[in-house]
Structures are given as C-alpha cells and as structure tokens.
Chain A
Amino acid sequence: MSDSDDKFQVNLFRPKSAVMRGEVFAILTVLAVWGISVFGFQLWLALSSLPSGKSFLESFTFFNLPFHYWFTAQMLPLFFIIICVFFNLFIDRLSLRRSRKREGYND
C-alpha cells in the first residue's frame, strides 16, 4: 500500500484522527443500542412465550396498552428520539472542543 493510500484511507472500523475516533465511538454505541432495542426486545418476546403461546410481557398493561405493544409502538420511537438527541449533543461537544483547540484554547 502506498503512502497516499494509507494517508487518505477512510474506514469506519479504523478511525485515524482523534475527532473521527470520537465520532465513530458515538456511532457504534448508538448503533449497538439501536439494534439491541429493536431486535432484542422482539427476540425476548418470542422466546418468553409460554406453552399457551403467550409471553408474560403480554399479560400486563402499561399506559393502558399491553406492555409489549406499548414498548414497541410507543416507547421505541421515543427511545429513537432520545438516542438521537444524545448523539447530537455528543457530536456538538466534540465539535466545540475541536474548534476551541483550533483557536488555541486548552480544556
């Protein structure tokens, strides 16, 4: 691999600069939380089904709705908004630190 190949390499799993490392950390964390919340809960729901075909997650209500239904229909979209807010706050902070460093300030 030539110098230029290496110098201009962009790879999500091999971030080079400190800024990109911070950004990739945030991205991978959000994606892990996002994936687990979507698939993990449905898997739990399916695996926890009793011989009667019903999971205990279906047997009680929350905010008037069966819990599993409330979690999927109401909580997950809200959760997506929350993790997006945290992601943006993190990136805003990263951006601020970067611009302060560029201007010669030290945190």
Chain B
Amino acid sequence: MIDSVQKIIPMLIIFGVLILFVVAGLLYKTRESSEYGLSGRYTGSIGGGAAIASNWMSAASFLGIAGISYLYGYLALAYVIGWTGGYVLLLVLLAGQLRRFGKFTAPDFIGERYESSLARLLSAIISILITLIYSMAQFKGIGIIFAWLLGVEYIKGVIIGAVILMAYIILSGVMGVAKSQKLQYFVLIVTFILPLMLLAYKLGYFWVLPQFGYGRAITDLSTEFGINLSSPFSHFNLFQWTALCFTLMFGTVGLPHVLSRFYTVSNIRDARWSVVWGLFFIALIYWSAPAYAVFGRLIEARNGISFPPEVSYKMADIVVLRTALLGGLPIWIVGMLAAGAVSATFFTVAGLLMTGAASVSYDIYYRILNPQASESKRMSVAKGATLFLAILVTIVSINPPGLIAEIAAVAFALAGNTIFPAFLLGIWWSGTNSHGVISGMLTGLLITFAQPLLGGYLPIVNIFFPFTASALCGAPIVILVMIVVSLFTKPPSVEIRRFLAEEVHGEVQ
C-alpha cells in the first residue's frame, strides 16, 4: 500500500476540503440561524435537490454500498433501489402535504397532528434512537478512514475522527457558517466519480461513463475467475432481498432528518420538484457505487489476492479507498476520494446530531418539560444534547455490530416501522388518533428489535422480521394496529380534522 509519509497528502486534502466548506459557508453566510439545524436557506428546486442529496449522502452511500456489493454482489442493489425508490413514496405521499402542515421536526408534527404530549415524547425518543443508530454507521466510516489515514487501530481512528468532527461542528456553529449545499454536493459527486473514471481508464474499460463501463468487468470476473457478482438471490433469497429493499424505502420516508428538509423549502411546488432533483443527484452516486466493488474484486483476482471470508468482511467497508490504491491511482486522487467520504459523513452526522438534539431541546425540553424556557436556554440544551449524543455514539461505535450499510439499515427499519406509519396515516386518514399512533409506534419498536430480543425463542421472527429488513412485514402490521386502535377509541378533535381537510388537503399547489 502506501507509507505514512505519503498519507500526509490525503490528510492535507481532507483538511483543505473541510476548510473550503467553512470559508464558502462564511462567504454565503445568511443572517438566519436556528437551533433546529435547519439554517441555510436555499432557493429553487435545484438548490433544494442539492440540499436533499448532500444531506442524504453519507458513509452508507459513499462506502457502504460498495462494501455490500464487494461481499454479496446483487444484494447491494436492494440498497440502491431502496434508497432511491423511497423518494417516490416520499414525493407522492408526503412532500407537499408536509410543507403545508408546516412543523419544524418529526416529533413536532406527530405532537401537533395527534394532539398528544405522549405521542410527541415517544416519537422524540424514537428520533433520538434513529439518530444514534444511523450515526453509529457514520462513525464506523469515520473510524476506518482515520485509522487508515493515521495508521492506527480502528478504536483510535473513531475517537480521533469524532474529536475532529465535533471540532468542525462547534467551529462552524461559533462562526455561524451557513451550509452551501450546492458546493457540498458538487464536491461529493466529483470526488466520487472522477477517481472511478480514472480506475476504469487504467483497467481498460469504457471510462467516459464508468457506470456502464464496469459491466464488462462483471463479465470478465465471471468468465476469467468464476466470480459472479451479478448472480441474483445467490446469497439471499427473493423474500430477503425484497424485505430489505422495501424496508429501506419505508425507512427513507420515515427518517426525521430527511423529513425536516421539507419544512424549509420556500413553497410547495419547490418541495415537490426538489425531490425529483434530489433523487437525480442521489442516483448519480448510486449508479456508480457498485463499480468500485467490481473493479476491486477484479484487481484482487488479477493479482492473485484472496482472503478468507472473515477478513473480507472486515475489509469490505474500506473497499472504495482500497480499490483506488490497488488500482494505482495517484495519491492525491485517493486523498480526494477520502475527502469526499469524510465530507459526506461529516455533513450527515452534523444533520443527524442536530435533528436528534432538536428532539431533546425542542420536543422534550421546551414542549413538554419547560414551555417557559427562553430561546437562549433552549439553545444551550440543544448544544449540550449535541455533545452528549456525539459522545454516546462514539462509545457505541467502538465495537460496531456490522457493516456500515447494515447498521444504517437498522435505523431505516426503525424509522419504517414507527415514523413512516405515523406520518402516512397522520396525513392520509383523519381518523387516526393519539391512542392509535402510540400503540402503533410501540408495536413498531417491538417489531424492529424482535430478532435480537426474541429470535432465539421464536425462530419465525428471524424469517419475517430480520433485524435489517423488518419493515416489509412490520410497517403493515403497525398501520393495522394504528387503524384498529383508532377505530375503537375517541376520534381526533374537529379542529385537527378541519385543519387536515382544509389546510393540508384543501387544494393542490
């Protein structure tokens, strides 16, 4: 590989890119700020799309999909489809309606829609749990990159990466750095696609569009070395593939930091069109991600490199960087790729922590515990919560339970089993009440953690509610529970039903 002196170049590039964002953010600084992490106004649907995409791109997109593809081939496409198809659901079912409803956070929507502090509290706790699990996946990405960069073991990589991340968040907050989402997205896409084009060129494949060029590498791998990465349902059957795919889709619609994006779009039409642009920007990355894994496998095979399964599993999440190195790309290109991965992870974690902190400071502290709290007091609670959550995530990330994409999938399963049904019925059936949503979300929590809790005693749970893919069967059950409980308990107030009928569904815009 490369020695530690050479790693100074990637390190300099990473810090250079992070400084670039701070400087750009200061140049485009807006006067608006808020404790909810939603500052940074963007205009128009393309700006909104870039905001959605840069908010979405994380270690799971940048490193995780390639890692799954490297190990399991076709299974990675369940992630690709799940994480793009979910936006179709989001657009048609919620985007415009959420903008019309006009609340700041997911628990805020649930608290207001269902007129219940308990529902607000429960959804805030779930939002914090989602933040913790999803951030754990990101911290694993941070850990492996910094461990590689500094030549230290993973644990030290996580701790050093977490300290740098917190320093970046605090510095950005103190300096009032605005988010320049278009620039963020531009950097992410260039740092991901350019090295891939160079890899395709070096390996002799169609490099202008490596998204198609890697197809021949799949064929070569199969014919020359007998490695078939395109074989469908070889590692997982149709049900498992579908369950994972739909879980990720439902989870996309239920992720609090994704839903928060729609509250700040300037108008409803922009809210809808920004989803389309966001989906296009996200798809550009996902069309490309499996190519890194295919090229990685091919280079290994051509060089006679072979690992036992447990070693491959450990290395899978770093396959993007590893492939760039094995492919002989210039070290500054590898540094660029690492800078993109670090940026993607930092932006996502910043968004996640702020959403989690908003659940603490706004939904729990201000709306439930201390409604008289001043803005500065709420801000202090939000900052404290951000720090506390970051420390908590660092601790739990020291021993990550799976691959980056797998950990992220659990967060999606939780969102798909709880927040998604609450929003879906909250918008589309006025009969859903607080008893229904509380019962449903509790059922969703149980279903999400059914496999680790009950899988040993009830084998059927392992089949229908796998830890990373429980929402295909789980979300319909939760929806049914919400409907049945709502039908047998007191209906929601006339005020909220009138608001839904007249304001949210009154007219299309």
Pick from B91, B212, B232: contact of A87, CB under 8 Å? B91
Inter-chain contacts of B87 with A (CB < 8 A): 80, 84
Interface string of A10-41 (1 = CB under 8 A from B): 11100001011011001100110010001100
User: Closest approach, in angstroms, between the C-beta of A58 and any C-beta of chain B?
Assistant: 7
Q: Does B15 contact A (CB under 8 A)?
A: no
Q: Does B279 contact A (CB under 8 A)?
A: yes
Q: Please determine whether B497 and A84 come into contact, CB atoms closer than 8 angstroms.
A: no
Q: Does B498 contact A (CB under 8 A)?
A: yes
Given A10-B428, A65-B218, decide whether A77 and B286 contact each other with a Cβ distance below 8 A.
yes
Question: How many Å lie between the Cα of A40 and that of B502 in the bound state?
Answer: 37
Q: Does B332 contact A (CB under 8 A)?
A: no
Interface string of B375-408 (1 = CB under 8 A from A): 0000000000000000000000000000000000
Given A30-B92, A64-B216, A84-B87, decide whether A77 and B283 contact each other with a Cβ distance below 8 A.
yes
Stretch of B127-135, B178-186, B268-276 on the interface side: B268-276
Interface string of B407-438 (1 = CB under 8 A from A): 00000000000000000000011110000000
Q: Please determine whether B429 and A69 come into contact, CB atoms closer than 8 angstroms.
A: no
Q: Please determine whether B242 and A39 come into contact, CB atoms closer than 8 angstroms.
A: yes
User: Closest approach, in angstroms, between the C-beta of A73 and any C-beta of chain B?
Assistant: 5
User: Closest approach, in angstroms, between the C-beta of B456 and any C-beta of chain A?
Assistant: 30
Question: How many Å lie between the Cα of A76 and that of B279 in the bound state?
Answer: 12
Q: Does B52 contact A (CB under 8 A)?
A: no
Question: How many Å lie between the Cα of A17 and that of B507 in the bound state?
Answer: 9
Question: How many Å lie between the Cα of A73 and that of B386 in the bound state?
Answer: 37
Inter-chain contacts of B176 with A (CB < 8 A): none
Q: Does B85 contact A (CB under 8 A)?
A: yes
Q: Please determine whether B272 and A94 come into contact, CB atoms closer than 8 angstroms.
A: no
Q: Please determine whether A19 and B508 come into contact, CB atoms closer than 8 angstroms.
A: yes
Interface size on A, residues (CB 8 A): 52
Q: Please determine whether B497 and A10 come into contact, CB atoms closer than 8 angstroms.
A: yes
Inter-chain contacts of B430 with A (CB < 8 A): 8-11
What is the count of residue pairs linking A and B with beta-carbon distances less than 8 angstroms? 153
Stretch of B3-11, B73-81, B316-324 on the interface side: B73-81
Q: Does B326 contact A (CB under 8 A)?
A: no
Inter-chain contacts of B498 with A (CB < 8 A): 4, 8
User: Closest approach, in angstroms, between the C-beta of B498 and any C-beta of chain A?
Assistant: 5
Q: Please determine whether A77 and B84 come into contact, CB atoms closer than 8 angstroms.
A: yes
Interface string of A54-97 (1 = CB under 8 A from B): 01001001011110111011101110110111011001101100
Q: Please determine whether B501 and A10 come into contact, CB atoms closer than 8 angstroms.
A: yes
User: Closest approach, in angstroms, between the C-beta of B209 and any C-beta of chain A?
Assistant: 9
Given A9-B497, A76-B84, decide whether A81 and B279 contact each other with a Cβ distance below 8 A.
yes
Q: Does B500 contact A (CB under 8 A)?
A: yes
Q: Please determine whether A11 and B428 come into contact, CB atoms closer than 8 angstroms.
A: yes
Q: Please determine whether B215 and A65 come into contact, CB atoms closer than 8 angstroms.
A: yes
Q: Does A98 contact B (CB under 8 A)?
A: yes
Q: Please determine whether B96 and A84 come into contact, CB atoms closer than 8 angstroms.
A: no
Q: Does B211 contact A (CB under 8 A)?
A: yes
Inter-chain contacts of A85 with B (CB < 8 A): 276
If A69-B77, A91-B508, A95-B509 are given as contacts, then 8 extra A-B residue pairs at C-beta distance below 8 Å, sorted by A number, are A4-B498, A23-B508, A31-B89, A65-B230, A73-B287, A87-B92, A88-B273, A88-B276
- Residue positions of B touching A, CB distance < 8 A: 74, 77, 80-81, 84-85, 87-89, 91-93, 96, 206, 211-216, 218-219, 230-233, 238, 241-242, 245-246, 269, 272-273, 275-276, 279-280, 283, 286-287, 290, 428-431, 491, 494, 497-498, 500-502, 504-505, 507-509
- Residue positions of A touching B, CB distance < 8 A: 4-5, 7-12, 17, 19-20, 22-23, 26-27, 30-31, 34, 38-39, 42-43, 45-46, 55, 58, 61, 63-66, 68-70, 72-74, 76-78, 80-81, 83-85, 87-88, 91-92, 94-95, 98
- The 5 tightest CB contacts between A and B, nearest first, are A64-B215, A65-B215, A8-B497, A10-B430, A12-B428
A sample of 27 inter-chain contacts (CB < 8 A) reads A11-B428, A11-B431, A19-B508, A20-B505, A30-B88, A34-B85, A34-B89, A38-B81, A38-B85, A39-B242, A46-B238, A58-B230, A64-B213, A65-B230, A69-B74, A69-B77, A69-B218, A69-B230, A72-B77, A72-B80, A76-B81, A77-B84, A77-B283, A81-B279, A83-B88, A95-B508, A95-B509
